[in-house]
Amino acid sequence: MQYRTLGRTGVQVSTLALGTMNIGPIGGTTQAEADALVGAALDAGVNLVDTADVYGNGLSEEMVGRALAGRRDDVVLATKAALPMGEDRNRRGGSRRWLVTALEDSLRRLGVDHVDLYQIHRWDPTTDDEETLAALTDLRQAGKIRYFGTSTYPAHRLVEAQWTAREHHLGRYVTEQPSYSILQRGIEAHVLPVTQRYGLGVLVWSPLASGWLSGAIRADREIATHRSTFMPQRFDPAVPANRARMDAVERLATVADEAGLTLIQLALGFVTAHPAVTGALIGPRTTEHLRAQLAAADTVLSPDVLDAIDAIVAPGVDLAPHEKNDTPPALLDPALRRR
């Protein structure tokens, strides 16, 4: 396992980190399976575990907390808040009112007195940066969080938040958690240059592109049931973006074969090769999946292989830009651009 410094924090984290969205209802894992996954990951040298309140409506945090019992001090523990937790309009977003409550709920579910990294899951356009940063700064001073960061923020919002922190003498975000894979390279054009400029640690999610780069999705194979039911639109062959992804996967599989690598090793080796990336969040559902992904822990891609990948998916290009989750609100709601 390799380790890198998380931004400017001085904290050393493994280049492969454990994402836990699949622990609980989404992945269908049991507590026993979660215990096995977390234990195997930690034994292999993974030292960052990432979860979120919204995963399974809190159940993932509860299961992760139980799985970490007795090993809390072995990990950099991260969680997230801001996505809706129920129908109440104030149980979401980046307001002080909600973040204080959300963190207390997360600490209770995880069974800990603090988390190492607390992340705003999505930019909240209804809340001023100063409000959110002031609340996070106070939570850090209270000892309930050690650092705070963002997830899936557009580049311009990352810059605005850094300026706000400086102007108002508040703590600043030290990490960003964006979506990044061979098939989704858009952050290379805008987000990663910003994170490098401000010294942010980068923990990328979906490095296997929701399973497209797992080796299980090929032109001659039927797509697994759990994928077609959980996110059917992402695998529907009638969608042009999915046809483009399938073509790219077939060509990437050839590159991997010629390099003596699995497609998983190619995919994870690619994202961790970028100098702006600190680590990749892997999200296995089973210990078998975990072993296949941990096999990429020391993968280093040669320049020739990286050039071959560039020839298939150009730098800065997203094959499915509609899945980015960072679209400006005015592009989604006509009322915001027609008043």
Count the Cβ atoms, other than its own, within 10 Å of residue 154: 18
Query: Does residue 198 have an active-site annotation?
Result: no
pLDDT at res. 223: 67
Average the pLDDT over 244-268 and give the result.
97
Instruction: Count CA atoms closer than 13 A to 141's CA, side-chain side.
Output: 9
Of 198-202, 265-269, 321-325, the one with minimum mean pLDDT is 321-325
Above 90 in pLDDT, residue 322?
A: no
| Mean pLDDT, residues 61-73 | 97
When pLDDT is cut at 50, 70 and 90, the band that residue 221 belongs to is confident
Tokens 């209804």, residue?
A: 126
- Listed in sequence order, the residues at least 6 apart from 335 whose beta carbon sits closer than 8 Å to its beta carbon are none
What is the average pLDDT score of the chain? 94
User: What pLDDT shows up at residue 334?
Assistant: 85
Secondary-structure breakdown of the chain: helix, strand, coil percentages, each rounded to the nearest 5 = 45, 15, 40
How is residue 290 written in tokens?
A: 């975990």
Residue 1 resides in a domain: no
Q: Is 113's pLDDT higher than 80?
A: yes
What value does the mean pLDDT take over residues 27-50? Answer: 97
Q: Alpha-carbon dihedral of residues 55, 188, 117, 128, nearest 10 degrees? A: -90
The answer to whether the CB of 283 falls within 8 A of the CB of 22 is: yes
- 26 pLDDT more than 80: yes
Task: Kindly state the average pLDDT of the residues 266-290.
Answer: 97
The verdict on residue 323 lying in a domain is: yes
Measured between alpha carbons, how far is residue 22 from residues 261, 275, 290 in Å? 25, 28, 12
In the chain, how many domains are there?
Answer: 1
**Residues 106, 148 contacting (CB under 8 angstroms):** no
Separation between Cα atoms, residue 7 and residue 54, nearest integer Å: 26
Residues 119, 124, 128, 134, Cα dihedral to 10°: -20
Say whether pLDDT at 229 is over 80: no
Position 319 pLDDT exceeds 80: yes
What are the pLDDT digits (tens) for 133-159? 999 999 999 999 999 999 999 999 999
**Helix 191-198 and helix 155-168, axial crossing angle in degrees, nearest 10:** 20
> 180 lies in a domain?
yes
Residue 232 pLDDT grade (very low, low, confident, very high; cuts 50, 70, 90): confident
Confirm whether 209 is domain-assigned: yes
Q: What is the CATH number of the domain that holds 141?
A: 3.20.20.100
**pLDDT band at 303, cuts 50/70/90?**
very high
Question: What is the pLDDT at residue 333?
Answer: 80
Give residue 36's pLDDT.
Answer: 97
Provide the pLDDT confidence category of residue 230 given band limits of 50, 70 and 90: low
pLDDT of 307 above 90? yes
pLDDT of residue 195: 98
Residue 325 has pLDDT above 80, yes or no: no
Residue 319 lies in a domain: yes
Note the pLDDT of residue 152: 97
What percentage of the chain reaches a pLDDT higher than 90?
A: 86
Give yes or no for residue 120 having a pLDDT over 60.
yes
Under a CB-based contact definition with an 8 Å cutoff, are residues 77 and 113 in contact? no
Strand partners, 201: 175
Structural domain boundaries, residue 134: 8-336
- 228 has pLDDT over 50: no
Q: State how far Cα 28 lies from the chain centre.
A: 19
Is residue 27 one of the residues assigned to a domain? Answer: yes
Count of other CB atoms within 10 angstroms of residue 327:
12
SS3 letters across 182-249? CCECHHHCCHHHHHHHHCCEEEEECCCHHHCCCCCCCCCCCCCHHHHHHCHHHCCCCCHHHHHHHHHH
Q: Is 2 domain-assigned?
A: no
Q: What pLDDT score does 19 carry? A: 98
pLDDT category of residue 337 using cuts at 50, 70 and 90:
confident
Q: Which of 55, 147, 153, 198 is catalytic?
A: 55
Specify the higher pLDDT residue, 222 or 25.
25
160, burial (CB in 10 Å: exposed 0-12, middle 13-18, buried 19+): middle
**Residue at 78 is within a domain:** yes
